[in-house]
Chains A and B, each alone.
Chain A
Amino acid sequence: MKNRLPGKIKWCIGLCSMLIALSLVAASCTNTTITATTTTTSKTATSSTLTTARTSPTTITASTTLTSTPSTTTPATSTVLTIVNGTTTQTYTIMQLKALEAVTGYGTAKSNAGVITGPDTYVGVRLTTLLKAAGGMTSSQSITITARDGSTEDLSYTQIYQGTVNTYTLTGSTASAGAQPFVSLIYSMNGNVLDATNGPIETGIITESDRASDASLWLKMTDEIQVHSAIRTVVDSTGATITIPWTVNRIADAWHANNEIVMLLGGASKLVATTTVVQGLPWFVKLDPAIAKIPAPFTSTAGQVNLEMLIATNPDVLLCSAGSFNAATMAQFAAANIPVVQMPAATFTDLQSTVNITAQVIGPKAQTVAADYISYLNGNIQEVTAVTSPIPASQRPTVLHTSQYLVLSTDGANSLIDAWINYAGGVDVASATVTGNQKAITAEQIAAWNPSIVIVGTAPNGTNVQAIMNDPQWSSTNAVKNKQVYANPTGVYLWDRYSAEEALQILWAAKLLWPTKFTNIDISQETKGFYSEFFHYQLTDADVAAILSGSAPPS
């Protein structure tokens, strides 16, 4: 994969954040008094620190090596915990924490699989104590706790202040904790300081009795606590401002192609409801087998939903393409308190805003990926159009894109397909007279258009190419005479419409139409690189060959 834009920017971000981290460490090192260090910074400064922490995980590693010396003990003068509350930033050294009112008790974690770890005796500081010192929080706020390795944990107001967390007996059955379970920042376990893999600070639930709590509420290597609003807003493509939880963990996606974009942005594990169509996409299931097992309240029939099935998945947000659901169904979503974020589908600009809106919904890390993806997409468009735009219309090959499966259909003006045919240096034969996607056309019209290249979209491609080559009705077209009939690649989603793989489609089409002008493009390598960077999946040569011919994964 050609790493076009990000290189220099990554260096800049890296350098800047190193500087900021160093100065922070230096500031805290000079302060050896036991009282907590409170710095009130301007809003911009705070947000830039946050951005740095998000965009560049490497910086955190750097600061870690500075704060924790090779020995297991952490110097008493190093900052071990940062609390950010609005414009207030508060840092603590281990000594400062120990000076606060301590809580001692038992702690036991129960994993999703039911594995019990503990009980152990812990000493720490209640989260409420720390929050009080940092200006407190209100019931309309929630917090995010971040660990040095980048993992996070979210806690609501009631979890912190009313102890509304699940507690269990040591055999794993649900039981009341007796007294209120305390979310605490732990610095001592069974009388010892925490080792480097757990500490110096760990978030956990300390109970007065021997009760276990969900392992998801325990966070090793706790680094930072951020107090923020419990909700945030996203502006969707209809211009509506949609209120969603600050941290979105459960996504329902009614738009087939958008499921791939969620996967691209690293949110596949957050999908709790999908469509039957997505579950039938062989490459999607191959890359993310879990997708086949989650509920699918949406089918191929647009606008339909199994509402009860959807509600049962308890989604934080529902993603869909603009106008998918009628007013009555939207009212049902509203009644079920499911925020609906709509996104546009028609053009390449729409594809970018869909990626951006989806990323905003998923969270900050996804936004970084979205920026990388969009710069890659635009890079490809620029690379291809720089070569193709000088080609006069008269020299451009005439292209017909058809989803021929028993019905002859094509895509005309105002479609993504028309757009990439133009980028790639071709003329869409249908665009002059046909507008929109997948319009049924007559065999006579195809013969009259006489395309010089035919691209066949949608499975089963190989058979469709053969069917066209052997069909006497197509026999007069230049494409058939010169054997210029090609299957469109199909990966996680169809490359030709709506999907993230449109970025690859542009390169593939350019190379197909103008092989001599794009000798620099190796579509196999490009595909492998794309899958590796965005889907974290290493394709074999056989895999790439299958994708490029529009086939299912080789078994």
Chain B
Amino acid sequence: MSKKKIIILIVIPLLVFYVSLFVGRYMMDPITVLRILLSKIVPITHNWSSTAEVIIIQIRFPRAVLAMFVGAGLSISGSAYQGMFRNPLVSPDILGVSAAAGFGAALAILLSANIWELQLAAFAFGVLGVTLTYMIARVYKTTPTLMLVLAGVVVAAFFSALVSGVKLIADPEAKLPAITYWLLGSFNRATYKSLFTVIPIITLGSIGLMLVSWRLNVLSMGDDEARSMGVKTESLKLFIIVCTTLITASAVSVSGIVGWVGLVIPHVGRMIVGPNHRWLLPTSMALGAVFLLVVDDIARTATPLDIPIGILTGLIGAPFFAYLLRRTKGGWK
């Protein structure tokens, strides 16, 4: 990987982030935006409305940051899982984390919980779901890939059924729309408080995955091959599962279920830097951050309404994935 590519991967996300702060329903000239941003670092005379300041500092900034971290987190998780499962169709919610977290959130809404209790419930149920999957898949002190996938299907189906059950009895004027909307994903709830709870977890999980990136390369050749090369496959798998689960569960707990990102972005990354996880993981993070940031810009700007992010990622992600499939003719490099 050339130095040029590394620089591009760092510069582009920052550039897109910067541009995103200028985009929105509330019209402001770029100079004002710049002055508001600078005023947080250096003293500048305030000649803008409090509305403008709230929009930039309290609304656009945390929202953009959250979109980037969620995009980066979901993409690195997807890349790690695709390597670990040696399967290009795997996404971060393969072990049921999204479905379980979705149930946690739906339950919290049903019980009139506040936003913090909701985040905690979503996170806790996400972790619980994956724990269940892992326990079901565990046979003779090993966790065969096939067993993990099947157990994930079981747990996801179980929690999806519970979500449907909650939706059936939720009050249609307030709680049902809240549940439906939450399940489609949105960054509308981004606040600094939510950033401070989620960023550390996503950062820690990502660092953890980066640390084992070369072992992932070995693991992606197969359990037996990895073992013969001295890799403790079971503990490695468990470590990867813990990292991705922490990342995905915390992402889902603040933004709802954002589909397609963790599935499609790793493929794009592989097209750019190849299958070496040492480069694939950071590349996926950068691409995922940019992708969700741009999609969220569309979601909050295209109409006065807040378009659920899951709809847009699906609309963009699915055709793009189809294009990739045609192009690679099903082969996976």
- Chain B nearest Cβ from A296, distance in angstroms: 10
CB distance from B252 to the nearest CB of A (A): 14
Q: By the criterion CB–CB under 8 Å, are B300 and A442 in contact?
A: yes
* A47 vs B47: C-alpha distance when bound (angstroms): 76
Asked whether any CB of chain B lies closer than 8 Å to the CB of A178, the reply is no
Give chain A's interface residue range (CB within 8 Å of chain B). 35 or more
- A14 and B50 alpha carbons, distance in the complex (Å): 65
Stretch in contact with the other chain, from A83-91, A260-268, A360-368, A468-476: A468-476
Name which residue of chain B comes closest to A406, CB basis: B178
In chain A, positions 433-473 with a C-beta closer than 8 Å to chain B are 433-434, 438-445, 447-448, 450, 457-460, 463, 467, 471-473
Cα separation A497 to B174 with both chains bound (whole Å) = 12
Kindly specify which of B55-63, B70-78, B85-93, B241-249 makes contact with the partner chain. Answer: B55-63
B59 and A444 contacting across the interface, CB-CB below 8 Å: yes
Query: B85: shortest Cβ distance to chain A, in Å?
Result: 34
Q: Does B36 contact A (CB under 8 A)?
A: no
Bound together, the chains give a CA A545 to CA B26 distance in angstroms of: 39
Q: Is B24 an interface residue (CB 8 A)?
A: yes
Q: Give Cα A547–Cα B53 distance, bound, in whole angstroms.
A: 37
Our pick among A256, A440, A448, A467 for the contact of B172 (Cβ within 8 Å) is A256
| Interface flag for B176 (CB, 8 Å) | yes
Of the candidates B49, B51, B174, the one having the most CB atoms from chain A within 10 angstroms of its own CB is: B174
B114 within 8 A of A: yes
Q: Is residue A353 contacting chain B, with contact meaning CB distance below 8 A? A: no
Q: Which residues of B contact A439 (CB under 8 A)?
A: 305
Contact between A460 and B306 (Cβ–Cβ < 8 Å)? no
A445 near B169 (CB under 8 angstroms)?
no
Task: Decide if A299 touches B168 in the complex (CB within 8 Å).
Answer: yes
Contact pattern, B 164-193, Cβ under 8 Å of A = 1, otherwise 0: 000111111111111001100010110110
Q: Does A407 contact B (CB under 8 A)?
A: yes
The answer to the question of B46 belonging to the interface, with a C-beta cut-off of 8 Å to chain A, is: no
Beyond A403-B174, A447-B55, whether A440 also contacts B308 by CB under 8 A is yes
The answer to whether the Cβ of A277 comes within 8 Å of any Cβ in the partner chain is yes
Residue pair A476, B60 in contact (C-beta under 8 Å): no
Residue numbers in A under 8 Å from B53 (CB-CB): 476
For B308, give the chain A residue with the smallest CB separation: A440
Q: Least Cβ distance of B114 to chain A in Å?
A: 7
Known pairs A406-B189, A439-B305, A444-B25; A473 contacts B54 (CB<8 A): yes
* Alpha-carbon distance A395/B55, docked complex (angstroms): 26
Least Cβ–Cβ distance between B139 and chain A, in angstroms: 39
CA distance A407 to B26 in the complex (A): 20
B25 touches A442 (CB 8 A): yes
> Judging by beta carbons under 8 Å apart, are B188 and A277 in contact?
no
| A40 within 8 A of partner (CB) | no
* B118 in the interface (beta carbon within 8 A): yes
Q: Which residue of B lies closest to A446 (CB)?
A: B59
Is there an interface contact between B188 and A443, defined as CB atoms closer than 8 Å? yes
Decide if A140 is an interface residue (CB 8 Å cutoff).
no
CA distance A188 to B24 in the complex (A): 86
The answer to whether B172 and A277 have CB atoms under 8 Å apart is yes
**How many residues of chain B are within 8 Å of chain A by beta carbon?**
42
A300 in contact with B174 (CB, 8 Å): no
How far, in angstroms, from A496 to B195 measured CA to CA in the complex? Answer: 35
A405 at the interface (CB under 8 A from B): yes
Contact check, A476 vs B178: say whether CB atoms are below 8 A apart. Answer: no
Q: Which of B26, B115, B304 is packed against the most chain A CB atoms within 10 Å?
A: B304
Answer yes or no: A527 CB below 8 A from chain B CBs: no
Cα A444 to Cα B54 with chains together (Å):
9
Q: A475-B58, A476-B51 are in contact. Are A467 and B114 (CB under 8 A)?
A: yes
Given A299-B169, A301-B167: A443 in contact with B59 (beta carbons within 8 A) = yes
Contact of B177 among A407, A433, A472 (CB under 8 A): A407
A135 at interface, CB cutoff 8 A:
no
Partner of A472, one of B54, B118, B176, B181: B54
**Residue from the list A433, A450, A460, A467 in contact with B304, Cβ < 8 A:** A433
Give every chain A residue within 8 A of B169 (Cβ-Cβ). 276, 299-300
The interface residues of chain B, by DSSP majority, are classed as: helix
**Cβ B114 vs Cβ A300 within 8 A:** no
A439's nearest neighbour on chain B, judged by CB, is: B305
Interface hub of B63, B118, B192, B306 (most chain A Cβ within 10 A): B306
Q: Which of A277, A444, A475 contacts B26 (CB 8 A)?
A: A444
Chain A residues numbered 367-405 whose CB sits less than 8 Å from any CB in chain B:
403, 405
For B58, the chain A residues whose CB sits under 8 A away are 443, 472-473, 475
Shortest beta-carbon distance, B173 to chain A, in Å? 5
Q: Given the complex of chains A and B, what is the CA–CA distance between A276 and B109 in angstroms?
A: 17
Task: Check A441 against B304 for contact (C-beta < 8 Å).
Answer: yes
Task: Flag whether B112 is at the interface (Cβ < 8 A).
Answer: yes
The proximity string for B residues 40-53 relative to A, scoring 1 for CB distances below 8 Å and 0 otherwise, is 00000000011101
B113 to chain A minimum Cβ distance, whole angstroms, is: 9
Is B59 a contact of A447 with CB atoms below 8 Å? yes
The reply to whether B305 and A408 contact each other, CB–CB distance below 8 Å, is no
A280 within 8 A of B: yes
A450 CA / B305 CA spacing, docked (Å) = 16
CB closest residue in chain B, given A450: B51
> Which residues of B149-175 have CB atoms within 8 Å of chain A's CB atoms?
167-175
Closest to A471 in B: B191
* B191 in contact with A472 (CB, 8 Å): yes
Distance to closest chain A CB from B184 (angstroms) = 9
A475/B54 contact (C-beta < 8 A), A277-B171, A301-B167, A406-B189 known: yes
A361 CA to B192 CA, complexed, in Å: 55
Contact call B26/A280, Cβ cutoff below 8 A: no
Residues of B within 8 A of A108 (CB): none
A406 near B54 with CB under 8 A, answer: no
Q: Does A258 contact B (CB under 8 A)?
A: no
Q: Are A406 and B115 closer than 8 Å at their CB atoms?
A: yes
| A440-B181, A447-B54, A463-B114 known; A473+B59 contact, CB < 8 A | yes
Q: Which residues of A contact B173 (CB under 8 A)?
A: 403, 438, 457-458, 494, 497
Contacts of A422 in B (CB 8 A): none
A405-B174, A409-B177, A463-B114 are known contacts. Are A301 and B168 too (CB-CB below 8 A)? Answer: yes
B176 partner residues in chain A, CB cutoff 8 A: 300-301
Q: Could you say which of B49, B181, B191 contacts A473, with CB atoms under 8 Å apart?
A: B191
- Within 8 Å CB of A408, what residues of B? 188, 306
Tell me if B306 and A442 are in contact (CB < 8 A). yes
Docked-complex contact B178 and A300, CB < 8 angstroms: no
Instruction: Say yes or no: B167 contacts A444, CB within 8 Å.
Output: no
Q: Which residues of A contact B304 (CB under 8 A)?
A: 430, 433-434, 441-442, 445
Minimum distance in angstroms from A300 CB to a CB of chain B: 4
Pair B171/A476 contact, Cβ less than 8 Å: no
What 10 A-B pairs have minimum CB-CB distances, sorted nearest first? A476-B54, A458-B174, A448-B26, A433-B304, A300-B172, A476-B51, A442-B306, A440-B306, A476-B50, A472-B58
Write 18 A-B pairs (CB below 8 A) sorted by A numbering: A276-B169, A302-B172, A405-B109, A406-B182, A407-B178, A438-B177, A439-B305, A440-B181, A440-B188, A442-B306, A443-B63, A447-B54, A458-B171, A473-B58, A473-B59, A475-B50, A476-B54, A476-B55
Sample of 6 further A-B pairs with CB below 8 A, known A447-B54, A471-B191 = A301-B167, A304-B168, A441-B304, A442-B25, A442-B300, A476-B54
